[in-house]
Amino acid sequence: MTPLIGVTIKDDESFEKALRRFNKFCEKTGIISDIKKHQHFEKPSASKKRKLAAAKRKARRAAFLENKDNN
C-alpha cells in the first residue's frame, strides 16, 4: 500500500493557495514525472536505448562546455 499524499489547509488559506502548495510538493518529489513515466509499459530494450541516448547527450554537452571554457 502506498502512502497518501496531501497537504493540510491552514486557517485563513484559500483553496487555490493550498492547491498551489500541493502541486509544488508533487513537482519537488517527482510524483508527476513518475506517473507519466509509468503511464505506458516500456520494453527493457527501449529503456536502455533511451538512457544511452541521454548519457550521450550529457557527455556531448559536458565536452562542449569544457571546450568552451578552455577557449
Quote the pLDDT of residue 68.
81
Q: Give pLDDT tens digits for 19-66.
A: 999 999 988 998 888 888 889 999 999 999 999 999 999 999 999 988
CA distance 6 to 63: 42
CA distance 45 to 11: 51
Half-sphere exposure of 65 (CA within 13 A, CB side): 6
Q: Which residue has the higher pLDDT, 27 or 3?
A: 27
Quote the pLDDT of residue 21.
93
CA distance 5 to 39: 19
Q: Spell out the domain ranges in the chain.
A: 1-40, 41-71
CA distance 2 to 36: 17
